[in-house]
Amino acid sequence: QVQLVESGGGLVQPGGSLRLSCAVSGYTLDYYAIGWFRQAPGKEREGVICLSNTDGITYDAGYGKGRFTISRDKTKNTVYLQMNGLNPEDTAVYYCAIAFNCGYFYNRKYDYWGQGTQVTVSS
């Protein structure tokens, strides 16, 4: 059974930082691609960043460049999302997901995803 569990969300002031974690079980991070997408109420799902475990290349959305970073710990089977310079527009539920590759990921074709963790940016 493949399971992804996100954690680390919460309430953050504008300009603040947050680190999200995604614990993966029943799956190895050595294969395929894994990334983070987000969804705000009434809006479409949008990809944030994706890591291709096949070639080790990171692909991120334009709005996340310079602010969001993805990393992995193969020993702990955990993926992280470091978010800096957060804006109220970043408020959303953040999900980690596994896809065949990052092209599939950004086309919203996920194989597995978690329950998400709420990120709220407000003063």
Average pLDDT over residues 68-93: 94
Average pLDDT over residues 81-95: 97
Per-residue pLDDT, 5:
97
Q: How far apart are CA 89 and CA 97, in angstroms?
A: 21
DSSP state of 33: E
> Of the given ranges (38-52, 63-77, 81-95, 101-115), which has the lowest mean pLDDT?
63-77
64: tokens are 């996340």
- Cβ atoms within 10 Å of 60's Cβ, excluding its own: 20
Give the pLDDT band of residue 28 (cuts 50, 70, 90). Answer: low
Q: How far apart are CA 119 and CA 86, in angstroms?
A: 10
Residue 29, phi-psi category: left (phi > 0), alpha (psi -120 to 50), beta (remainder):
alpha
